[in-house]
Amino acid sequence: MTDEQSAESGTDESEEVKVPPPPDFELFDPKTGMVGLIPFFETGRPVCSLPLEPDRKNLMLVSQVAVNQAADDARFDKFVTSGLGLLRVGGGTGLFTADTDDPDWVLAHKLLMPAFSSQAIKGYHEAMCDPASQLMLKWARLNPGESVDVTADFTRLTFETIGLVGFGHRFAAFYSQEPHPFVIGMGDVLHWAIKNANNPEASPEDPPPEIREAVDFLNETVDSVIRERQANPRESAGQDLLDYMLSASDPKTGESLSVENIRQQINTFLIAGHETTSGLLSFVVFYLMNNPDVLQRCYEEVDRELGSDLDTLPTADEISSLRYVMQVLKETLRLWPGAPFIIRRSREDIEVLDEYPVTPEDCLHISLASLHRDQAIWGDDPNEFDPDRFTPESEAELPENAYLPFGIGQRACIGRQFSIAEAQLALGMLLQRFEFVDYENYDLQIRRGLTIKPKNFRIKVLPRKGREAAVLHSSGNSSEPATREVKREPTTTPVPPNGKKLMVLFGSNLGTSENLAREISADAARSGFDVDMAPLDDRVADLDREAALVVVTSSYNGQPPDNAVDFCKWLHDLEPDALDGLHYAVFGCGDRNWSSTFQAIPRRINAELAEHGAEEFSSLGAGDASDDFDGQFRKWYAQMWPNLYRAVGLDPDSIQETSGRLELEVGIPLRHRFFATLEAKPATLVSSEELQGRSRDGTPDRSTRLIQLELPEGETYETGDHLAVLPYNTPEALSRALTYFEASPETIVSLHADGPSETSLPLDQPHTLGTLLNYYSELQRPATRAQIAILSSYATAPRDRRRLESMIGDDEDAQAAYREFILNQRRSVIDLLEENPSCRPPDEVLLDLLGELKPRFYSIASSPLAHPSRVALMVGVLESPSFSGHGTYRGTCSTFLSRLPIGQKVHVSVRSPGMPFRPPADFNKPMIMIATGAGLAPFRGFLQERAADAQHAAIAESMLFFGCRNSGADFLIGDDLERYDADGVVDLVMAYSDEPGFRRKFVQDRIRDKADKVWDLMERGANVYVCGHAGRVAPAARKVFEDIYAHKTGASKTDAERWLQDLRDNDRYLEDIWAGN
C-alpha cells in the first residue's frame, strides 16, 4: 500500500487490521483438534483469524488466492510449530520435523531425492507386491461373514511396505492381531505430541519417562536395522532407502548423512510413510462403496488393464495404466488429504492479499479441506465425490496451488510418488479379486491423529464372481515377484559410422534424466553416431558446433539441477547469435503436481537456445512423473529420431530399431534374486523318508516324504513357521524345454540388455543355456495372456496364430477359452510351443518369456524344541497324468526335494506364517487340531513342542482329528501319532474314508462323534486349528463346530455363526488352508 493509498483510505498503517474469526467459532470444541475446525471455514472468506493462542496471531488461509501467495517459498516457509516440534523427540531433524534452513534437512533432502524419483519408485514395485500379496491372502482366507477392520489392515499393509521396501526389514505386521510393538510405540509418541501441542511445558528434549522409554525402543529397533545392514551389505538386490542413506554423499562437498540422522530419517519414514497411505486407501474404499458407478468403472478398467489372471502379479507399467483408478485416488485426497492443514509462516513482515499484515512469528494455517472445496475452483458441488475432476483436461485447467494433498513447494512430501504407487498397486489388486460389502451401512466418522482416517470402519469382502478359487489360490503366493510382459524387438546388425556427431547433455538430481540420456546415447551409438554424453555443466562454453544437441533435464523447485547450474547461467549470458548453426532438441522431466515450476528449466533452456541462434529440430518434450511418463517420453522419442536424421542430412528411412532388446552372445556362481529378496541360505538334506504305505492292491499310488534339513549356523525358526524352498527344474521338464532352443544345453551364453531391461535373468555373466533354464526359468506354470500374446507374434501359420490369439482378448469368448484351455488344463509356454509348431521365438525371447523360477512354500513339520537347527517338511510328491494331455506332470519342487541326495544343499528361507497359527504359549491351554493328508505337517511340530513341555510340567489335554484313506496307505507318521496318544500328549481321533471293515467317515463326522469332549475343551479355552483343503475340510469343520454350539446352547444358526466368528476374531479358531487345482 502506497502512502497516497493509505491517506486516501483514512487508515493508519500502525493500526492492527482486525481479522474476524469464522461465524459461530465460540462453538468450536478444542477436544476435536484441527479436524473440528474444518466446518468453521466454509465461509467464503479468503482469510479468517484463529483465536487459539493468546500470545500468537493465527490466521487461517481458506481460498486458493490466499494459499497461492503463501505457497511462494521465497517469501514463506514451513512452520514447525509446537505439536510437530514435539515429534522431534523421535524424528529429530528428520525431513518431516526439521526446519528448512537446518543443515541436516538441506543435506538429507538433497541426497534422498533420487530415492523417490519415478524411476526409483518403479524399481520398488516388486518389493511392494510382497506386502500387498499378504493383504490379498489375509482377505482371501476370511471365513464367510467375517468382517475386516479396514483402517487396521491398511495400516498393516503400509507399515510392512515401508519397512520392507525402505529398509529390507519385515515387521510381520500381518502375522498378529495386535499391532507391532513399534507401531504401539509410535502411537504413544504421536498421542503425546498431539495431546500436548499447546502445552508450553512439553518439550522434545524432556519427555515423560514412558515416552522416553517408547522412543528408546524405537531407536534401538532402528539402530539394529542399520547395524545389520552395515555388517551385511546387500550384494546385488538394488538400492533401497537405507542403501541410499548409507552410501549417498554430496558430489561437491563429499558430505554424507550421520548414523544418528539416518536413524531419524527412518523413524520419519516409518511414521509418515505409513500413516497417510493407509488413510487414503481407507477413504477410497468408503467412497467406492458409496458410489457404485465409480466402482464399476474401476472394475472395468482393472479387468481391461490387469486382466483376470490372478496367478500373475501386475507389473509396474500395468499399474501405472490404471488412469481412472488414479483419478479416484486424487479425488479422495481432495476431499480427505491425510494431513488436513499445512502450517506456514512468512520469512519477513508482509501483507497477505495486500490486506492482512503478518510477521515471521505469526502462524498461517492452510485449510486443505476448505481449499479443496473452494467453489470458485471446484464448482457448486465441491462436497460431491467426482473423479472426473481429475481427467487430464480438467486437471490441466486447475489454478496453481488449488490442489495440495501432499503439501507445498520444497517442503512437500518427498514420498508422494511412493505413496501413490503403493496405493494404486494395492487398490488395483483388491479390485481384481474382491467385492466390498457395506454390511453396517457405515456413516463416515473421522479419527484424528498425526493424520486423519475413517473411524470404526468395518466391511466384508467377497471374491468377485467367477474368481472364488483363483482368489484363494493366487493370494497364497505372497512372495512371488511380478511377471513382466516382454515385447518383441527386432534384431539388428551393427550400423557402420555415419560420420555425424551427437551431444547428449543432461541435468539431473534424481537420475531420471541421466538414465534417459544414457538410453539416447546408446541408441545413437548403435545407429552410427559419434556420441558425446555429459552433464550440462561439463560443456559450459564447449558446445561442439559440428554436432547436433539433445538436452534432457529436470527442474528442482524451479531451479536447475545441481549439475546444470553453471550451464544455465552461461547460456543466459550469451550473445544473441552465439549459437548460430546449432541444431537441438530438449526433453523435460517433471511432475505436474508442482504446477508452478513444472518444466521451468527445460522450457528456459529450450527458449534460450533459440534466443541465441540455435535451431530446434524437434519440438520440446515434457514427461510428467505423476502421469504416463514413459509413454510421454516414447512418443517424443519416436518423433525425435526422424527429425534428427533430417537435421543432420541423413535419410529417416534408414533408421533401424535398436533399443530395449536382449542380445544372446554364444561363445560364476549362481545368484538368484530369491537369495536377496528372502535372504535365502543353504540348508543341508539330512534325511528323506517315504511316509506312504501301499494301497490295497499293493501298488504305491502316491508319495509323501518326510524331508529333514539342517539349517545353516545362526538360522532359527519357531513352531508353526513356513519354509520357502528354491527348487531346480526336473530333468524331464528341462529336456522338453531344450527342444525349442537352437543352442545346445552346454552352449555358453551371456545375456546383455541394450537399454533398460527388467529381466530376472542374470545379465553380463557367462552361463550354459542349460543352467539358465534349470535354475532360473519357470517351465511348468500355466501361460499368462501376456506370454501367449508374444508367442502369437512369432506364429507363422495362420491356424496357430488364430488359436493363440483366441485366448488373449477381453471378450467373453476369449476369457472362456483362456480359462478352459490354459488355466483348467494348466498349459504352459512349453505346451503351447509343442501344440503350435510354427511358433518359434528366438532363443533370447523365449528365455526372457519363460519367467523367473519362484520359491515354493511349505509348513514346517517340526519344533525347535525337538531339534533347534533342524526343520522337517512333509512333501506330497506330485506325479500324475498331465491335465493338458502332455505326458506325465511332475511337481517342480516336490520332485526336486524327493530326488535330492543326502548331504545336498538346498536354498531356503524361514518365513513366519501369515496368521498366529502356532501352539499357545501357555501349555495349559488345550488344542483341537484338524487335518487331512499333508495338512498334518504343522501339527507334527505342535505335538513335538507339547511333548517337550510335558517333560517338565503338566500339559493341557488336546485332540487331533486326522483324516486319511486307510491305515495301510496314508496313515502318515502313524507310529509317532500313536505314541503321542499313548503318552497323553494328544487324544488321536482317526477318520478313515476307505478302511476295510469300517464305516466310511470324514473328519467332520469324527468331530461330531466326539462332540461332548470337544465342547468340554472349548469351555476350557481350547484353540482350534484347521489345516487342509479350502473347499472341503474348512467349511465342513466350521459347520460341525457351529452345530455343536447350537446343540449345546440351544442357539440359533445365526448365533452359532456369530459365536464362531468371535472365536476367529480372538484367534481361537485358526485355519491354514489351500485351494485345490
Winning range, highest mean pLDDT, from 65-74, 281-290, 778-787, 807-816: 281-290
Gyration radius of the chain's alpha carbons: 32
HSE-CB of 882 using CA atoms within 13 angstroms: 19
Count of helices and strands (H, E) across the chain: 39, 34
Assess contact for 474 and 310: CB atoms under 8 A: yes
Tens of pLDDT, residues 795-843: 988 888 999 999 988 788 888 888 889 888 899 999 999 999 899 999 8
Q: Which residues pair with 907 in a beta bridge?
A: 682
Q: Which of the residues 79, 171, 406, 587 is marked catalytic?
A: 406
Assess contact for 268 and 219: CB atoms under 8 A: no
* Mean pLDDT of the residues in the chain: 85
**376 vs 344: CA distance, rounded Å:** 23
Residue-level pLDDT at 31: 66
- The predicted model gives 1047-1066 an average pLDDT of 92
How does residue 883 score in pLDDT terms, banded at 50, 70 and 90?
confident
Q: Which of the residues 413, 839, 893, 964 is marked catalytic?
A: 413
- The predicted model gives 574-593 an average pLDDT of 89
Residue-level pLDDT at 391: 92
Of 304, 58, 76, residue with least CA distance to 197:
58
**621 vs 632: CA distance, rounded Å:** 8
Q: How far is CA 107 from CA 101, 254, 553, 609, in A?
A: 10, 11, 21, 32
Look at domain 917-1074 and name its CATH class: alpha beta
Ranges of CATH 3.40.50.360 domains, the chain = 501-528+539-659
How does residue 187 score in pLDDT terms, banded at 50, 70 and 90?
confident
**211 vs 190: CA distance, rounded Å:** 10
Residue-level pLDDT at 32: 66
% of the chain beyond a pLDDT of 70: 88
**439 vs 160: CA distance, rounded Å:** 28
Superfamily per CATH, domain 666-857? NADPH-cytochrome p450 Reductase; Chain A, domain 3 (1.20.990.10)
Residue-level pLDDT at 1015: 97
% of the chain beyond a pLDDT of 90: 44
Cβ count within 10 A of residue 175 = 21
Domain 501-528+539-659 adopts which CATH fold? Rossmann fold (3.40.50)
Assess contact for 942 and 969: CB atoms under 8 A: no
Residue-level pLDDT at 395: 87
Of 711, 686, 728, residue with least CA distance to 909:
711
- The predicted model gives 34-57 an average pLDDT of 74
Assess contact for 606 and 586: CB atoms under 8 A: yes
Provide the sign of the torsion angle of the four alpha carbons 659, 660, 663, 668, taken in this order.
positive
**Helical (H) or strand (E) element with 85:** helix 82-86
**Three-state SS for 277?**
helix
Residue-level pLDDT at 11: 34
**Three-state SS for 475?**
helix
100 is catalytic: no
Residue-level pLDDT at 660: 44
Classify each residue of 1015-1054 as buried b or exposed e, where b means 16 or more C-beta atoms within 10 Å of its C-beta: bebbeeebbbbbbbbbebbbebbbbbbbbbbbebeeeeee
Residue-level pLDDT at 851: 81
Residue-level pLDDT at 674: 55
Residue-level pLDDT at 200: 80
Cell of 536: 550440462
HSE-CB of 359 using CA atoms within 13 angstroms: 5
Cell of 283: 477413504
Between 3-12, 220-229, 258-267, 502-511, the lowest mean confidence (pLDDT) is in: 3-12
DSSP-assigned letter for residue 576: T
How does residue 628 score in pLDDT terms, banded at 50, 70 and 90?
low
Distant-in-sequence, close-in-space partners of 538: CB < 8 Å, separation ≥ 6: 505, 563
Over 631-671, what HEC string results? HHHHHHHHHHHHHHHHHCCCCHHHCCCCCCEEEEEECCCCC
Comparing 822 with 915, the larger pLDDT belongs to 822
Q: Percent helix, strand, coil in the chain (nearest 5)?
A: 45, 15, 40
Exposed, middle or buried: residue 501 (CB in 10 Å: 0-12, 13-18, 19+)? middle
Answer yes or no: is pLDDT of 863 > 80. Answer: yes
Tens of pLDDT, residues 751-779: 776 654 556 677 777 778 888 898 889 99
512 is catalytic: no
Domain 85-337+406-475 adopts which CATH fold? Cytochrome p450 (1.10.630)
Answer yes or no: is pLDDT of 618 > 90. Answer: yes
Residue-level pLDDT at 477: 43
Assess contact for 421 and 428: CB atoms under 8 A: no
Exposed, middle or buried: residue 525 (CB in 10 Å: 0-12, 13-18, 19+)? middle
- The predicted model gives 727-738 an average pLDDT of 90
Range list of β-strands (E), 3-71:
47-49, 58-61
Residue-level pLDDT at 472: 58
**Three-state SS for 579?**
coil
**753 vs 776: CA distance, rounded Å:** 17
Residue-level pLDDT at 647: 93
Residue-level pLDDT at 333: 97
- The predicted model gives 362-377 an average pLDDT of 90
Distant-in-sequence, close-in-space partners of 1002: CB < 8 Å, separation ≥ 6: 963, 991, 993, 1036
Comparing 988 with 665, the larger pLDDT belongs to 988
Q: Which of the residues 155, 276, 315, 677 is marked catalytic?
A: 276
Displacement of CA 194 from its chain's centroid (Å): 30
Tens of pLDDT, residues 131-142: 999 999 889 888
Distant-in-sequence, close-in-space partners of 952: CB < 8 Å, separation ≥ 6: none
Provide the sign of the torsion angle of the four alpha carbons 752, 756, 761, 763, taken in this order.
positive
pTM of the model: 0.56
Between 112-126, 364-378, 393-407, 565-579, the lowest mean confidence (pLDDT) is in: 112-126
Residue-level pLDDT at 986: 97
**169 vs 156: CA distance, rounded Å:** 14
The 8 Å CB, 24+ separation contacts for 414-417 are 414/95, 414/109, 414/112, 414/113, 414/116, 415/116, 415/269, 415/272, 415/273, 416/116, 416/593, 417/116, 417/117, 417/118, 417/121, 417/591, 417/625, 417/626
**526: left (phi > 0), else alpha (psi -120 to 50), else beta?**
alpha
Tens of pLDDT, residues 493-534: 456 788 899 999 999 876 788 878 988 998 898 888 999 999
Number of residues written out for the chain: 1077
- The predicted model gives 78-98 an average pLDDT of 81
406 is catalytic: yes
Cell of 1052: 440359533
User: What's the angle, vertex CA 347, arms to CA 341 and CA 348, rounded to 5?
Assistant: 125
Answer yes or no: is pLDDT of 293 > 60. Answer: yes
Residue 774 dihedral angles phi and psi, to the nearest 5° = -75, -40
Q: How far is CA 362 from CA 97, 201, 558, in A?
A: 19, 20, 27
Residue-level pLDDT at 238: 55
Comparing 914 with 607, the larger pLDDT belongs to 607
Comparing 868 with 592, the larger pLDDT belongs to 868
How does residue 701 score in pLDDT terms, banded at 50, 70 and 90?
low
Assess contact for 894 and 902: CB atoms under 8 A: no
DSSP-assigned letter for residue 410: G
- The predicted model gives 159-173 an average pLDDT of 86
Assess contact for 686 and 902: CB atoms under 8 A: yes
How does residue 673 score in pLDDT terms, banded at 50, 70 and 90?
low
Ranges of CATH 1.20.990.10 domains, the chain = 666-857
Assess contact for 769 and 758: CB atoms under 8 A: no
Classify each residue of 761-779 as buried b or exposed e, where b means 16 or more C-beta atoms within 10 Å of its C-beta: bbeeeebbbbbbbbbbbbb
Assess contact for 311 and 360: CB atoms under 8 A: no
User: What's the angle, vertex CA 659, arms to CA 656 and CA 660, rounded to 5?
Assistant: 145
**613 vs 259: CA distance, rounded Å:** 50
Residue-level pLDDT at 16: 52
Comparing 486 with 198, the larger pLDDT belongs to 198
Cβ count within 10 A of residue 1003 = 26
How does residue 38 score in pLDDT terms, banded at 50, 70 and 90?
low
User: What's the angle, vertex CA 478, arms to CA 475 and CA 482, rounded to 5?
Assistant: 95
**Three-state SS for 24?**
coil
